[in-house]
Structure 1
Amino acid sequence: MKKIIIPITLCFWFCNGLYAQSNSEEEAVLAVVEQLFEGMRAGDSSMVHTVFYDEVELYTTLTNKEGKPVLHKGSLQGFLDAVGSPHDVVWDEPIWDTEIRIDGNLAQVWTKYAFYAGDKFSHCGVDAFHLFKSEVGWKIFHLTDTREWKNCDIPADVKKKHKDKP
């Protein structure tokens, strides 16, 4: 009996340790994404800038007025300028249904979002982040989002935080 219990116990400790390590990496990756959104809410472009790798690509996919798909390339500086420019309302981008995948020093975050300017709904979609773990920690090196202005399935708890509903 001892021959069976000892290997099972060791396997449990080992597997539990791997899960805890993986879980802490997921938390570290998610903390970077959350810091981006906290910086947006605060209008703090310096805080936002710290989550990005030196070289970063930003894209938005959307459908134009003619119904054709468009891939728009943005710039980090343009994004930072927009976040840091004075605006009368808080930019809030709540997220949900977040999936995180990690392999070594590469992480991917896929999450649904809704964007609000103050209490006014603007758009919704999906954010797709790619992050690299360097010597200083996880940094975003690629971000693509989709944008929809109607037919958004936003959870009730997210809608509750804002007066204006999509």
Structure 2
Amino acid sequence: MSRLLWTLPALAAVTLLTSGVEAQNNEERAVIAAAQAVFDAMEALDPEAFRNAMVPDGFLMAVRSETTRRTTRDDFAANIARQTRPMIERMWDPEVRIDGPVATVWAPYDFYSATEFSHCGTDAFQLAKTADGWKVVMISYTSHAPPTCSMHPDGPPR
């Protein structure tokens, strides 16, 4: 009987811990999907999908050794509309941090214009949980050429 009394609370605790981890994993997947929506819009050359992936006053910040360049969401969407070749940006091994309605994604990336390699670096996404789900607030990124940064482990895009 005493064994049963100990086993039931232990099982309940394991169930609660497991469901908490699963909820966290689901939230992390949602955050990564929100960041990936930016890349999907770029590859599809879909400026409206790009706008929808970000908050209205969202922006991108290119960070180089000597300079930074800020681009608004709408200016970058206009740039997407002018492209004639898919903009393929791929991240891998994303690190996600979440605190309530705020999240970050930090990941290495590589970038291709269609099948032509351009550059690689690190993306740092800041996201906010809105009534419509996770939205990108800001993307800051570095831009390098190998060997300063790594190429995607799967090789060039197909």
- In the superposition, the TM-score normalised over structure 2's length comes to 0.92
| 1:55, distance to aligned residue in structure 2 (A) | 1.7
Once residues 126 and 98 of structure 2 are traced to their aligned partners in structure 1, the CA distance between those partners, rounded to angstroms, is: 10
Q: 1:60-139 residue pairs with structure 2 within 5 A? A: 60-63=62-65, 69-87=66-84, 89-139=85-135
Provide the identity percentage: 28
Once residues 60 and 157 of structure 2 are traced to their aligned partners in structure 1, the CA distance between those partners, rounded to angstroms, is: 28
Letter in 1 for 2:53: V
Secondary structure of residue in 2 paired with 1:148: coil
Is the 2:109–2:152 contact (alpha carbons within 8 Å) kept by the matching residues of 1? no
Return 5+ residue gaps in structure 2 as ranges: none
Letter in 1 for 2:133: G
Is the 2:121–2:150 contact (alpha carbons within 8 Å) kept by the matching residues of 1? no
| 1:57, distance to aligned residue in structure 2 (A) | 3.0
Is the 2:62–2:69 contact (alpha carbons within 8 Å) kept by the matching residues of 1? yes
Secondary structure of residue in 2 paired with 1:55: strand
Return 5+ residue gaps in structure 1 as ranges: 64-68
Is the 2:57–2:72 contact (alpha carbons within 8 Å) kept by the matching residues of 1? no
- In the superposition, the TM-score normalised over structure 1's length comes to 0.88
| 1:160, distance to aligned residue in structure 2 (A) | 4.1
